[in-house]
Structure 1
Amino acid sequence: MSFTTSILTTIGDCDKLLSLAQADKRDKEFRKITLERKQENSVLTSSEIEADLSAVNAEIDAYETAIPGMPEGLAKEQFRAKLTKAVYKKFTLEERRLTNGVLAVLQNELELSCVAKDLDECELFITEITERKAEL
């Protein structure tokens, strides 16, 4: 995008805009670094969550298969308790998946892409204002 820098008539206006733009650029650079770090962590965490979900689903399937064929008694009650714990673990993993899983990774990638484009525009703005300042 090209900015309408021709409307700037004083070096003071250019300096003020440059100061604001550079502060904005620093904020965006910090946000980008933060998002990149979050992305690294999310990728690692999401693969762990997916692996844990696969394991707990297999555990639930095993309990659900075994329990109906068992005679009433202590062992069956213990299996039911373990099934309940496994179902709860699955629930918590699915909740974590929303904030740290593959969905979060993709949302973070989108945000990172937007910040990178904002940074490019900010840099272009600074360049054009600097050129206009030199003309004045």
Structure 2
Amino acid sequence: MLKLMSASVGLCTYNAQRHLAKQLDSILQQTHPVAEIVVIDDVSTDGTQDLLNDYATRYPGIFRLEFNSVNQGAKKNFERLLAECQGDAIFLSDHDDIWAPQKCRVCWLILIRIRRTRYCSAMQNSLMMQVKS
């Protein structure tokens, strides 16, 4: 039987309002639920921050939001995401991805088969998953 481990999703945003709701909904509808969604916004000006605050209000305890006051760029934001996520595994996501409902579950099954491997990469929606040791 599949042992349920905690999953974090790390997401960086910058002016992502147009696609973000569909992405967040697809993450929230995973058959293997995620424990947290950590988002770092890089000074968006298009309503992204309002949308994120709305989701955090509707789903208390799942979202952790960080809003930069100065643009940091993708590399620094993703480095920070990896440090902030608390789950047994971290799924990185682009703000315009839409995940299939079983994406997290399938990745867990892959990890169980390759237990000794620390990193799992899959091409579906540019997924990179890091398992904390």
TM-score range, shorter chain: under 0.3
Greater length-normalized contact order (CA 8 Å, ≥ 6 residues apart): 1
Report the structure number with the largest CA radius of gyration.
1
Structure having the larger proportion of residues in strand: 2
Structure having the larger proportion of residues in helix: 1
Q: TM-score of the superposition, structure 2-length normalised?
A: 0.23
